[in-house]
Copies of this chain bind each other. A is one copy, B any other.
Amino acid sequence: MRRITGEIRAKLIEAAGVSAYFDDEESLLSHSYDATPMLQAMPEAVIYAQSTNQVSAVLKICHQYEIPVYTRGAASNLCGGTVPVHGGVVLVTTRMNRLLEIDEENLTATFETGLTTKALHQAVEAKGLFYPPDPGSMLVSTLGGNIAQCAGGLRGLKYGTTKDYVIGLTAVLPNGEVIHTGGKLMKDVAGYDLTKLLVGSEGTLAVITEATVKLLPKPQATSVMLAYFDDMYAAARTVSKIIAARIIPSTLEFMDHGTILVVEDYAKIGLPTDMKAILLIGQDGHPAVVEEDMEKMRAICMEEAREIKVAKDMREAEELMTARRSALSALARLKPTTILEDATVPRSQIATMVEKIAEIGAKYNVRICTFGHAGDGNLHPTCMTDARDQDEIERVEEAFEEIFAAALELGGTITGEHGVGIVKAPFLEWKVGPAGIEVMKGIKRAFDPKNILNPGKMFAGQTRKRVVINR
């Protein structure tokens, strides 16, 4: 990788504009990390992208001089996805945040990728429409980040994830060429599906500057309940019975005993701390369907749960949701370092996996609580630790390695919604095999032969260690 020399710097400033180029120490430092703990590397420049053309101009220069480019939205990712491990440019998209169009006839929205997820939610919901993906970071995350990582969220079970909604993209290739994929089209099979390939490509193939997503009518009604269980297998059986009853709830979230303890201590919402598992169960849609499904699910819960609490109105529903949504905040305040992972298994394997995680935590003497999306098998084993305790961190790394292996053994995957980045790179081959890695590397070379886009990610895994990087 080359460095940004004075000559290259002058060209980049000319291309980006002086008000968009920063290389003071504060700017570099504040763009040297993301939401992932224990990962940091200093870039050489920070550029605030303002338009597709400007991104193209910047990439042409970086391509010519082989300068790494790390595209960054809100940097709320949890896999080290935006950490500039090889220096170069951090290309920030947050100034490209215009909502370009809500097309009510075609049920699509088109926007610049620096727009936040929440802003899109609010804008489309004001028109009676609905954009389902709701990652935990949605208040701050950009849609570009959601697209790069294929963000999921609580509604994944019923509504799918980001890739199920993105139908068109404007993207800048590493050489500065601009491509347009898809369109306002529910059906388009003209060549390989570059749209779906770019979703989840983690900034390694192109810089996505605009996107078109499909929208749904906003559900007319929504309802939630909490169910408390004496043991985790009763909760898992409940999940199975709901699905066996041919109901797909909009929300089917899980918290284990450790999470319950910590959330109650933090939020004081009256959770029974002697319970071993909680399910948060919701449905949305037509009022008749919501009522019927909730009643059916309540009856199923009665067979297994100690207690059930159905929200009487939206305010109570919000309160119940708080229990689940505050899980990460509650866990994060316990110890200096919180590592939130996302090992994922087929839905039928949830109980086995939660038990495995608890066993592995005990084996390595590290504190791991588990919560997550029971409905789609996407679990978030979360470790409270301290980055300064080298011995404990090593045990944490070993525990997570064993957790990923366990997930794969159960037919799962190393990451359900957070992405590979730096953190999962050592384990990608476990999931996709050597032939899969070779194919993926071939795709990377086809897009980015000079490896300037987000280098050091996805395929870089030589070590399982989550290392603090110092340049």
CA–CA, A129 and B288, complex, Å: 21
CA–CA, A414 and B347, complex, Å: 39
Give the residue name and chain of the B residue nearest to A291 (CB). B288
| CB-based contact B193/A163 at 8 Å | yes
Is A413 positioned at the interface, with any CB of B under 8 Å from its CB?
A: yes
Contact with B along A109-141 (1 / 0, CB 8 A): 000000000000000000011000000000000
| CB-based contact B186/A197 at 8 Å | no
| CB-based contact A190/B286 at 8 Å | no
Is A25 positioned at the interface, with any CB of B under 8 Å from its CB?
A: no
Interface segment, one of A33-41, A171-179, A463-471: A171-179
Contact with B along A138-177 (1 / 0, CB 8 A): 0000000000011010001100110110000000010001
| CB-based contact A417/B187 at 8 Å | yes
Partner of A164, one of B164, B246, B347: B164
Is A346 positioned at the interface, with any CB of B under 8 Å from its CB?
A: yes
Q: Nearest chain B CB to A411's CB is how many angstroms away?
A: 6
Is A180 positioned at the interface, with any CB of B under 8 Å from its CB?
A: yes
| CB-based contact B194/A439 at 8 Å | yes
| CB-based contact A432/B191 at 8 Å | yes
CA–CA, A253 and B347, complex, Å: 36
| CB-based contact A199/B190 at 8 Å | no
Interface segment, one of A100-108, A261-269, A386-394: A100-108
Complex interface: chain B residues within 8 A of A217 (CB): 246-248
CA–CA, A183 and B346, complex, Å: 8
| CB-based contact A185/B440 at 8 Å | no
Is A447 positioned at the interface, with any CB of B under 8 Å from its CB?
A: yes
A405-456 CB contacts (< 8 Å) to partner B: 411-420, 424, 428, 431-433, 435-437, 439-440, 442-443, 445-447
Q: A348-B106, A439-B447 are in contact. Are A185 and B431 (CB under 8 A)?
A: no
Q: A193-B196, A197-B192, A199-B193 are in contact. Are A185 and B344 (CB under 8 A)?
A: yes
| CB-based contact A244/B433 at 8 Å | no
Q: A286-B286, A412-B183 are in contact. Are A420 and B346 (CB under 8 A)?
A: no
Complex interface: chain B residues within 8 A of A160 (CB): 164, 186
Is A366 positioned at the interface, with any CB of B under 8 Å from its CB?
A: no
A277-306 CB contacts (< 8 Å) to partner B: 285-286, 288-289, 292
Q: Which 6 A-B pairs have the closest CB atoms?
A: A442-B446, A217-B246, A187-B416, A196-B196, A186-B376, A288-B288
Interface residues, chain A, CB within 8 Å of chain B? 103-107, 128-129, 149-150, 152, 156-157, 160-161, 163-164, 173, 177-181, 183-194, 196-197, 199-201, 205, 216-218, 240, 243-244, 246-248, 285-286, 288-289, 292, 344-348, 373, 376-378, 411-420, 424, 428, 431-433, 435-437, 439-440, 442-443, 445-447, 458
